[in-house]
Structure 1
Amino acid sequence: MSDFVLYGPAYSAYTRIVRLVLEEKGTPYLLEEVDFISAGMPVAQKERHPFGMVPALEHEGHMLFEAGPICSYLDEVLPAPPLAPSDPVARAQMAATISVLDNYIWPDLRELVTQTLFTTLVGGWPDDLIKERMVKRLAASLAILEERFVAVGALNSKAVTLADLHAVPMIAYLAETLDGQLLLQDLPALSGWWNEMKNRPSVVATAFDLAAYPWAQKTED
Structure 2
Amino acid sequence: MAGQLVLYTNPMSRGRIARWMLEETGVPYEAVVVDYASTMKAAPYLSVNPMGKVPAIVHDGKVVTECAAICAYLAEAFPEAGLAPRPEERADYYRWLFFAAGPVEQAVTNNHAGFVPSADQARMFGYGSYDQTVDVLEKAVLANPYIAGSRFTAADVYVGSAVGWGVQFGTLPRRDAFADYFARVSSREAYVRATAIDDALMAPAQA
Whether TM-score is above 0.5 comes out as yes
**1:6 alignment partner, SS class:** strand
Aligned length: 189
Aligned residue for 1:58, secondary structure, equals strand
User: Could you tell me how far 1:110 is from its partner in structure 2?
Assistant: 4.3
- The unaligned stretches of length 5 or more in structure 2 are 118-128
Point out where structure 1 has 5 or more consecutive residues left out of the alignment.
Answer: 116-126
Which amino acid in the other structure matches residue 4 of structure 1? L
Structure 2 equivalent of residue 173 of structure 1: 165
Q: Give the 3 Å change call, closer, same or farther, for CA 49–108 of structure 1 in structure 2.
A: same
CA distance, structure 1, for counterparts of residue 149 and residue 91 of structure 2 = 18
Question: Which of 177, 188, 191 pairs up with 1:200?
Answer: 188
**Alpha-carbon spacing, 1:211–1:51, altered in 2? closer, same or farther (3 Å):** closer
The aligned amino acid for 1:55 is P
Q: Which residue of 1 aligns with 2:120?
A: none
1:152 correspondence with 2:143 = yes
Secondary structure (helix, strand or coil) at the match of 1:64 reads strand
Residues 111 and 52 of structure 1: CA distance in aligned 2, closer, same or farther (over 3 Å): same
Corresponding position of 1:63:
63
Q: Could you say which residue in structure 1 is the equivalent of 2:156?
A: 164
Q: What TM-score does the superposition give when structure 1 sets the normalisation length?
A: 0.70
Counterpart Cα distance in 2 of 1:211 and 1:92: 37
Corresponding residue SS for 1:206: helix
Q: Which runs of 4+ in 1 moved over 4 A?
A: none
Return the offset for 1:211: 6.6
> How far apart are the structure 2 equivalents of 1:177 and 1:59?
32
The aligned counterpart of 1:97 is 96
**Match of 2:81, SS?**
coil
Q: Distance in 1 between matches of 2:86 and 2:59?
A: 25
**CA root-mean-square deviation:** 3.1
User: 2: distance between equivalents of 1:143 and 1:190?
Assistant: 11
Partners of 2:71 and 2:155 within 8 A in 1 = no
State the alpha-carbon separation in 1 of the partners of residues 202 and 70 from structure 2.
Answer: 28
The normalised TM-score by structure 2 is: 0.74
Distance of aligned partners of 1:157 and 1:9 in 2 relative to their CA distance in 1, 3 Å threshold = farther
